[in-house]
Amino acid sequence: MASRIARLWQPGAPQTRSLLPDFWMAVVRSSTVGRARLPANCVKFEVDPRMSKHDVREYLEKVYQAPVRSVRTEVQMGEILWNSKTDYQYKKAMWKEEDKKYAYVFMEKNYKFVFPMELTFSESEEVREIEKHKEQMEKIGENSKFVNSDRGTVGRLLS
């Protein structure tokens, strides 16, 4: 699963080993109603296209100590952009998006997955910083009324 080269070991130094996986996984929010609804013990991930079912299971069990029961994968074809009807007929695609791979991970029966809470933008630190910068820009803008006030009508369109 991890093919990265370990750090060079020097005599007398402790051997430090860390798991640096070559793959990535992202939790995908699934529908709560309708046909696409998943059971409470199932989690949908978008995974690296190179990952197999075994890699997904090992990743979750070793990194997050998750109680994985089974894994199912799905490859969703990327959208194809055709230039005209004849291009579609003769299969001459102008552009194709990359395929996406999804893994449906079923945990133990008594496990219930709760989607992580999202940050509300009004409470986040970044939004406060942006608001502070906007206030500073407004203060700077107040001075623009007085810049070049002695020039009269030079540089203005005739009205």
Residue 146 belongs to a domain: no
Residue 70 belongs to a domain: yes
Residue 149 belongs to a domain: no
Residue 16 belongs to a domain: no
Q: What is the CATH number of the domain that holds 50?
A: 3.30.70.330
Handedness of CA 37, 43, 45, 51 (dihedral sign): negative
Which residues fall within 8 angstroms of residue 93, CB to CB, at 6 or more apart? Answer: 80, 81, 82, 87
- DSSP H or E stretch at residue 57: helix 53-64
- Domain residues for the domain of 75 are 25-107
pTM, rounded to two decimals: 0.61
Per residue in 37-89, pLDDT (tens digit) is: 999 899 999 999 999 999 999 999 988 899 999 999 999 999 988 888 888 77
Residue 39 belongs to a domain: yes
- Indicate the number of domains in the chain: 1
Residue 44 belongs to a domain: yes
Residue 157 belongs to a domain: no
Please tell me the distance from the alpha carbon of residue 67 to that of residue 88, in angstroms, as a whole number: 46
Residue 72 belongs to a domain: yes
Per residue in 109-132, pLDDT (tens digit) is: 998 888 877 655 556 777 888 888
